[in-house]
Amino acid sequence: MGTSSIAAGTMENPPTLNQLNALILEAKAKQGGDGYAGSAPPSNDEDIGNAGATPQKKSPTLRDQAFKQLLDKISPLTPDQIIEMRKQQDKSQQAVAATPNTPPRPVSSTLTIDLSPGVTPPVIRLSAGFVTSLVFVDSTGQPWPIADYSLGNPKNFNIQWDKKTNTLFIQSTSAYNSANLAIRLATLDTPVMLSLVSGQREVDYRVDLQVQGHGPNALPPIVGDNLPVNNPSLLSVLDGIPPPGSQELEVSGGHGRAWLTGGKLIFRTQLTVLSPAWSASVSSPDGTRVYEMVQTPLILASQNGTPIKIELKGL
């Protein structure tokens, strides 16, 4: 039995005594000597020697050389080399997974959809590996169900929709691409058109698309026959950005935030304002509302059907 066959056997099963003896005899034949006092390999007692003898440093025996040769064939790498190899593999995996550019900055925003002819469609910023949610609401902030959609480039963009709600999940499958998207909303004859662009420095995580009009789930008017009116200039306040150059007022009870700007009062809250009458209002799907009204130190609002008074300080 050759050395190669003995090594191959040890990869699957532990080497037998005969296989080890064969390795020893083969090593002895290569060196051209006995290596032992007798014809057979020494026993354990012979290796140890007499108990009373003075221990002496022995040179490697043929058994030791055969064992080392066997280990080299089973595991040719040292433990340090194996650790270094694992480190290099980890660095390679990190390099493969790393993006060549800085990851895009996530953004959540509200956009007003203007269906008038000649208006430029809004742009939705996407990125490969990131999912963007598009939420459609009406002017009262209520969900506007989606009836259908059509994607201009289905090869490089993926859309998920449960065919029941007002939300689309869209993702770019490539780093740099563009397309357009047409959405048909329930009871709305005019489709909503959007431009899709991937590979930007910012990516839209969530976009609330507020369509001017009343959808099937629109809230009824609260004050007389006056309907809430969308004002695009209030959308930044709806996103939590104060009006430029405004003076913030103190709101009692922590029922919202208020600013004084341009002779008007801007009030952001999750309550329904009953008085005074507002000139413009926008809403988000989570129930947050922004009202534009005349200057007043006192606001009457509805909280879960109960009227409450809100005082403003700093006027």
pLDDT above 60 for 94: yes
Please give the pLDDT value at position 82. Answer: 81
Structural domain contains residue 77: yes
Residues 22 and 67 in one domain: yes
Residue 280's domain comprises 232-313
Interior angle at CA 227, CA 226 and CA 231, nearest 5: 120
Average pLDDT, the chain: 79
pLDDT above 50 for 268: yes
227-237 residue pLDDT tens: 445 556 787 78
pLDDT above 70 for 222: no
Number of domains in the chain: 3
Please give the pLDDT value at position 299. Answer: 92
Q: Give 82's contacts (C-beta < 8 A, 6+ positions apart).
A: none
Structural domain contains residue 258: yes
Residues 116 and 91 in one domain: no
Residues 12 and 86 in one domain: yes
pLDDT above 80 for 279: yes
pLDDT above 60 for 36: no
Which of 15 and 274 is assigned the larger pLDDT? 274
103-125 residue pLDDT tens: 788 988 888 888 877 888 999 99
Task: Find the range with the poorest average confidence among 41-50, 164-173, 189-198, 238-247.
Answer: 41-50
Tell me if 149 sits within 8 A of 186, measured CB to CB. Answer: no
The residue with tokens 């990516």 is: 203
> Mean pLDDT throughout 76-91?
83
